[in-house]
Amino acid sequence: MTPIDRPPPAGADGDVALAAGGDTAAFERLYRTHLPRIYSLARRMAGPEAADELVQDIFVRAWQKLGTFRGDASLATWLHRLAVNVIVERFRTLGTRRDRFLPDGEAVLERLPSSRPDARVDLQMDLHAAIERLPPGARAVFVLHDVEGYRHHEIGGLLGVSTGTSKSQLHRARMTLRALLGRGDA
């Protein structure tokens, strides 16, 4: 099971219908239910600087498109896919579609401080910070594959790169993260 298959909360169907009809209160309930999931996705893929604005764009798009949601998948899955599309559009808008997928992780390693500022920092926090230090392309592939559960051919389709590029970027991301975290057990 991938993380996007989480079951919808009780009462969500009613709120979907109400929100699709223009009920902003119902839409706010949906927003607050799914916000942590969507915000985390946006932040991991695009970084903290862009996450707030992306989240707004994603939920505005969801409001506009909610009428097309027919319940074939869970709302969480539908919203997640929509969010990925909005984020990828942003990558394209910023000209990061192909050229930003080429840089490798070694450049990031060179910019890192020589020692960790606080060895007692929680490992999960370390992984969050390390993901944000990855180059955009490697970061997007790692988040989509290892965090969100997408397959390489899906990632290739979303990001406009070959399956081979997706695989190589994933491996670079993993190796870079291993080095960033300072030890092999993450």
Which residues are at the interface with another protein (CB under 8 A)? 3, 16-18, 20-25, 27-28, 31-32, 35-37, 39-40, 43-44, 51-52, 55-56, 59-60, 63-71, 123-124, 127-128, 142, 146-147, 149, 152, 167-168, 170-171, 174-175, 177-178, 181, 184-186
Residue 112 near residue 133, CB atoms below 8 Å = yes
Q: How far is the CB of 20 from another protein (least distance, A)?
A: 4
> Closer to another protein at the Cβ: 52 or 106?
52
C-alpha–C-alpha distance, residues 42 and 53, integer Å: 9
Q: How far is the CB of 39 from another protein (least distance, A)?
A: 5
> Closer to another protein at the Cβ: 10 or 25?
25
75-104 burial, b if ≥16 CB within 10 A, otherwise e?
bbebbbebbbebbbebbeeeebeeebbebb
Q: How far is the CB of 70 from another protein (least distance, A)?
A: 7
Q: How far is the CB of 77 from another protein (least distance, A)?
A: 15
Residue 180 near residue 108, CB atoms below 8 Å = yes
> Closer to another protein at the Cβ: 68 or 95?
68
> Closer to another protein at the Cβ: 95 or 143?
143
Residue 94 backbone dihedrals phi, psi, to 5 degrees: -85, 5
> Closer to another protein at the Cβ: 70 or 95?
70
Residue 42 near residue 54, CB atoms below 8 Å = yes
Q: How far is the CB of 139 from another protein (least distance, A)?
A: 12
The string of DSSP codes covering 141-175 is HHIIIIIT---HHHHHHHHT--HHHHHHHHHHHHH
